[in-house]
C-alpha cells in the first residue's frame, strides 16, 4: 500500500509539473494546462477513494502518533 500511495503522489506531482510547463510554454493558447490540472484532480480523488476503501476493507489501519 505504501508503494501505491508513493507512486500516486509522484504521478500527482508530475501532472502539476506538466501543467506548469504547458502554462509557460503555450501562454494560454491551448487546453493542455487545463487537461494536466484535471488529471491531477482526478488522480487525487482516485487516491483518496483507494485509501478510504482500503481502510474500510481493513487493509490499512490507523497507527496513531508514536
Tell me what pLDDT residue 62 has.
86
> At how many degrees (to 10) do helices 2-26 and 32-57 cross?
170
- 47 sits in the region (left: phi over 0; alpha: psi -120 to 50; else beta) called alpha
Q: How many CA atoms lie within 13 A of 63 on its CB side?
A: 4
Q: Hey, where are the domains in the chain?
A: 2-55
Average pLDDT across the chain, whole number: 91
* Predicted TM-score (pTM) of this structure: 0.83
pLDDT tens for residues 11-20?
999 999 999 9
pLDDT tens for residues 24-55?
998 878 899 999 999 999 999 999 999 999 99
Alpha carbon dihedral 32, 35, 40, 41, in 10-degree steps, equals 150
Tell me what pLDDT residue 18 has.
94
Tell me what pLDDT residue 7 has.
95
Amino acid at each position: 500500500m505504501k508503494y501505491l500511495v508513493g507512486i500516486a503522489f509522484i504521478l500527482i506531482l508530475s501532472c502539476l509539473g506538466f501543467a506548469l510547463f504547458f502554462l509557460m510554454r503555450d501562454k494560454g493558447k491551448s487546453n493542455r494546462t487545463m487537461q494536466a490540472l484535471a488529471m491531477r484532480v482526478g488522480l487525487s480523488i482516485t487516491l483518496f477513494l483507494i485509501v478510504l476503501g482500503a481502510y474500510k476493507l481493513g487493509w490499512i489501519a490507523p497507527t496513531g502518533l508514536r
